[in-house]
Amino acid sequence: MDYPVAEPIREFLGNLVATSDLGYLGPVPELAPAFVDFAEKRWGWTPDVSHARLACDVGVATVEFLRAHNVSRVIVTSPVYGGFWHWLEELDIEIIDVPLTADFELDIDGIERQFADGVGHMLLCNPHNPLGKVFGRDALTALAEAADRHGAVVISDEIHAPLTYPGTEFVPYLALGEEAERTGVIVTSTSKSWNLAGLKAAFIFGHGVRGAELLKPLPEAMHWRSSILGAFSMVVAYREGVDWLDSTIETIATSSQHLASELARLLPAARLEMIPEAGYLAWVDVSGLNLGDKPWDRILEEGRVSVVPGTELGPQYLQHVRINFATSPEILTEALTRIAALAAPAS
Ligand SMILES: Cc1ncc(COP(=O)(O)O)c(C=O)c1O
């Protein structure tokens, strides 16, 4: 995000530097109560984080979890965050793509067919990157029930959840009841919502005895490889960063409206696939702009605007790009104006 980091976090980091408190990370007992309090106020849900494990980022927590469980096949739901594709390259894992349906819902029947076929793990992205979609309670419950019927495990990446806009209900996977508690772990961090990705800290947790069992094989060193700056900044974010978060959500929700109206004005041939319900990413079909085989290359090289290639989110998305709209309205308008200057009329 193109916005200044929350003042309490900047002050905290300044103090760590000023007092030379930059050694290895020890225990972080403050994290569990800080996250529980945040989740109770935000989502009316009390997570059980007694078995939470720290990692340097969500990617490492996920990869280590899959590695520790000797996973060989994983379901993803394209179009989906490029990390899901790239992280798995580290492991000898076959990616099974069950794309979202045409109206951007989870294809529960398709997912269940894969569970029935013995695929035991799924990476759920909720809220969904790149769409900004927040899956509803019914869809998530159906997913948990399907996973439970086949003894599958859902790794729910909820990193964008704190950025859910007012008027949309975000339901954490582990808040769905017994089926979800038997089948799920959540990976999350403050790195996206408070713009701290460079600080390197995240955590993974499951509920109760089942959660403890799922997390037990994770390597102990995963915790120590996380950063003292990141781990304690998460505590400050959950405790003291909520006003900043709320005002940032207002800003990005307004920015998403600006993006939608400016796309309609400047690039009417491009299609915003969905008005986001969370986060600051937009999924745009640019096939109508006639920018050639790799539209993102022309947009970068000639327009000097950086977008994420659709193919990063699934190999079939040859004419989609992902736009980050967490910036000022002026920059967004300038970016779209430059893209519009490249667009060729249909021949
Ligand atoms: C859904 C999702 N998960 C994970 C990440 C990366 O998180 P981390 O840097 O903690 O690995 C991102 C970053 O964009 C993301 O969008």
State the Cα–Cα distance between residues 24 and 84, nearest whole angstrom. 29
For the chain, how are helix, strand and coil distributed in percent, rounded to 5?
A: 45, 15, 40
CATH 3.40.640.10 residue ranges of the chain are 7-240
Q: What are phi and psi of 41, to 5 degrees?
A: -70, -35
Nearby residues of 158 by Cβ (< 8 Å), 6 or more positions away: 126, 127, 172, 173, 186, 187, 188
Measure 132 CA to ligand 1 centroid, in angstroms.
13
In this prediction, residue 59 has a pLDDT band, given cuts at 50, 70 and 90, of very high
Give the DSSP H/E element, type plus range, for residue 124: strand 121-125
Asked whether residue 334 carries a pLDDT value surpassing 90, the answer given is yes
Confidence band (pLDDT; 50, 70, 90) for 168?
A: very high
Confidence label for 343 from pLDDT (cuts 50, 70 and 90): confident
Has domain 7-240 been given CATH number 3.40.640.10?
A: yes
Q: How far is the CA of 342 from the centre of ligand 1 (A)?
A: 31
Higher pLDDT among residues 154 and 92, named by residue = 154
How many C-beta neighbours within 10 Å does residue 345 have? 7
Give the ligand 1 atom nearest the CA of 125.
1
Give percent of the chain above pLDDT 90.
97
The CATH code for residues 243-342 is 3.90.1150.10
pLDDT band, very low/low/confident/very high, at 346 (cuts 50, 70, 90) = low
What element of type H or E holds 19? none
Confidence of residue 33 (pLDDT cuts 50, 70, 90): very high
Question: How many whole angstroms from 159 Cα to the centroid of ligand 1?
Answer: 7
User: In the chain, which residues fall in CATH 3.90.1150.10?
Assistant: 243-342
Cross-strand partners of 121: 74, 153
CB-CB contact of 319 with 334 (8 Å): no
Q: Name residue, tokens 């006003």.
A: 243
> What gap in Å lies between CA 128 and CA 318, rounded to an integer?
19
Distances (CA, A) of 178 to 103, 125, 234: 28, 20, 28
Instruction: Give the mean model confidence (pLDDT) for residues 334-344.
Output: 93
Please determine, for residue 84, whether its predicted confidence score (pLDDT) is greater than 80. yes
pTM for the complete prediction? 0.97
Q: How far apart are CA 333 and CA 118, in angstroms?
A: 48
